[in-house]
Amino acid sequence: MQEREENKLLREAAQWRMTALFFECPSDEWKREVASLASEIGDNDLRKAAERAQFEASEGLYHATFGPGGPAPPREVTYRSWVQPGYLLAELSAFYDAFAYRPKTPDVPDHVAVEAGFIAYLKLKTAFASAGGDADAAAVTADAAEKFVSDHIAKYAEKLAASLEFSGIEYLALAGKSLFELAGKDPDAARAPLPVIQQAEEDEFTCAVAGDVL
């Protein structure tokens, strides 16, 4: 049973890593890494995305899609206008430091490639802790991954996937689909809105008439 759980974690780690990789800026080395990882992953959509990326991906296309003014903003802060950017970046950096996460990508902490890569990293740490018999460490990292996905990635995964779905760039459309499937819907999206103050009866509130003394 434990071995099956560890294999599941490793499979999920590979899916998150592959998905994260698709949101990084492509290069020749990137294409080699995509092809190498695809040969070890069982997800058909991600394997297809890896195949399409070899022909579709380019640095220019990446910046046109994800750069300033592009149709698919890759940063969490873009989707959370009510959150102070400085606070969000500080929170993310603290999360990464707590688990000694040092991404290779030069992207900012709230970039989807960095955040998805963090979950891949936590899945691996959970699997290794479980294999080593450290149940407490495994539980801590598993809880952290679940909370991070819920509090961060799920806040924008559906919207980003929708932006990429009809982009005409198949590997990115599949990457967006994978991100949304892995992260799920925003748990706060289904919450009821704040109640609206009911309209008062006409005789409860009246407007002052000119000449009235307050």
Please check whether residue 44 lies inside any domain of the structure.
yes
Distance CA 57, CA 29 (A): 12
Instruction: Provide the pLDDT for residue 20.
Output: 97
Q: How many CA atoms lie within 13 A of 179 on its CB side?
A: 33
Residue type, 144: A
Q: What's the burial of 101, exposed, middle or buried (CB within 10 Å: 0-12/13-18/19+)?
A: middle
In eight-state DSSP terms, residue 155 is G
Residue type, 34: V
Please check whether residue 147 lies inside any domain of the structure.
yes
- The token duo for 117 is 């890569």
Please check whether residue 15 lies inside any domain of the structure.
yes
Distance CA 116, CA 25 (A): 14
Q: What's the burial of 15, exposed, middle or buried (CB within 10 Å: 0-12/13-18/19+)?
A: buried
**Category of 211 on φ-ψ map: left (φ > 0), alpha (ψ -120 to 50) or beta:** left
Q: pLDDT 10s per residue in the chain (214 long)?
A: 456 888 899 999 999 999 999 999 999 999 999 999 998 888 899 999 999 999 999 999 999 999 988 999 999 999 987 788 899 999 999 999 999 999 888 899 999 999 999 999 999 999 999 999 999 999 999 999 999 999 999 999 999 999 999 889 999 999 999 999 999 999 887 654 444 334 334 344 343 444 444 3
Question: Residue 149 sits in which domain range?
Answer: 2-183
Please check whether residue 192 lies inside any domain of the structure.
no
- pLDDT (tens digit, 9 = 90+) per residue, 49-58? 999 999 999 9
In CATH, what number is assigned to the domain containing residue 99? 1.10.3480.10
What is the count of structural domains for the chain? 1
Please check whether residue 199 lies inside any domain of the structure.
no
Please check whether residue 196 lies inside any domain of the structure.
no
Please check whether residue 103 lies inside any domain of the structure.
yes
Please check whether residue 89 lies inside any domain of the structure.
yes
Calculate ∠ Cα 23-28-32, nearest 5°. 80
CB 177 within 8 A of CB 165: yes
